[in-house]
Amino acid sequence: MLAYAFKRFIGALPTLFVLIALAFFMIRAAPGGPFDAERALPAEIEANLRAAYHLDEPLVQQFGRYLADLVRGDFGPSFQYKDYTVTELIMTGFPVSLRLGGLAMALAVVVGVAVGSLAALRQNSWIDHAVMSVSMTGISIPNFVMAPILILVFAILLGWLPAGGLGDGSPQNLVLPVISLALPQIAYISRLTRGSMIEVLRSNFVRTARAKGLSERTVIVRHALKPALLPVISYLGPTTAALVTGSVVIEQIFGVPGLGRYFVQGALNRDYTLVMGVIVFYGVLIVVFNLLVDLMYALLDPRVKY
């Protein structure tokens, strides 16, 4: 198992390298620089600044320097937020994003699996049709459309929940952002669970379990649920990616001070190191999470040999 995990991790290294290289050279190829301001700096000051940040070196050398720093866990200083390192900025933004994304993920999995299983157990009943129609609606309404509508209804018309910001950090501030982030994922996961559950319920081992006279509850919970969850587990990788990108918009709409906002702002300001930092950080996060999902899959599915 450990050897397999190690092998998979080594396999993920090229992905990370391509990710970092792509981001690095794309940013550098873009017109404009971090020291473009409304008032042009005197040439010699700008030259000094560029030298201080090693921006005067050949690009490949800069890339090597960046990689070397990265291996030591150093994302470099931010160009825009003076006196802050990128690591410090990420560490202020990430806990907020993590709380948002983690809650949304938990909500999506729990509700999605429950609703999907329910629909599968009552296949072709009105419950099934209702669940499927609602989830299709959930897939079709993007989260950036859902979010303003939720704000309109629950914050402005009904006044039950705050419309944005984190306030004093109390839970009700997170309700609307988490729900808007989770809804499309709930829709996907419930459809996925329904499909695989229906297939599993038709399989021979479930028939055997029923033939043995086990109660319906035991058949479902002990025998059917685990194999039915496998597609959901392999979907967790894409879910993470979707939640991460979705949070960029959701954080913007609700004014939540997370990592997503740094990304868009950083790109607009040509804050090379900050943008790189966020991309690399999220890239590593997604790659590692995909790795964990694969390992979990291998653990749960007895047919998978590693």
Binding interface with other proteins (CB under 8 A): 12, 14-15, 18-19, 22-23, 26-27, 29-32, 136-137, 139-142, 144-145, 147-149, 151-152, 156, 241, 244-245, 248-249, 252-253, 263-264, 267-268, 275, 278-279, 282-283, 286-287, 290
Residue 185: Cβ-neighbour burial (10 angstroms; 0-12, 13-18, 19+): buried
Least Å from the CB of residue 240 to other proteins: 10
Compute the distance between CA of residue 67 and CA of residue 48 in angstroms, rounded to an integer: 23
Q: What is the largest CA-CA distance in the chain?
A: 86
Closer to other proteins by CB, 31 or 42: give it: 31
Closer to other proteins by CB, 52 or 255: give it: 255
Q: How big is the chain by its Cα radius of gyration, in Å? A: 24
Closer to other proteins by CB, 27 or 107: give it: 27
Is the separation of the CB atoms in 3 and 286 below 8 Å? no
Is the separation of the CB atoms in 237 and 8 below 8 Å? no
Least Å from the CB of residue 221 to other proteins: 28
Closer to other proteins by CB, 118 or 264: give it: 264
Least Å from the CB of residue 11 to other proteins: 9
Least Å from the CB of residue 44 to other proteins: 27
Closer to other proteins by CB, 74 or 199: give it: 199
DSSP 111-150: HHHHHHHHHHHTTTSHHHHHHHHHHHHHHHS-HHHHHHHH
Q: Distance of CA 254 to CAs 133, 143, 166, 244, 247, Å?
A: 28, 12, 9, 15, 10
Closer to other proteins by CB, 114 or 132: give it: 132
Compute the distance between CA of residue 223 and CA of residue 217 in angstroms, rounded to an integer: 10
Least Å from the CB of residue 214 to other proteins: 28
Least Å from the CB of residue 156 to other proteins: 6
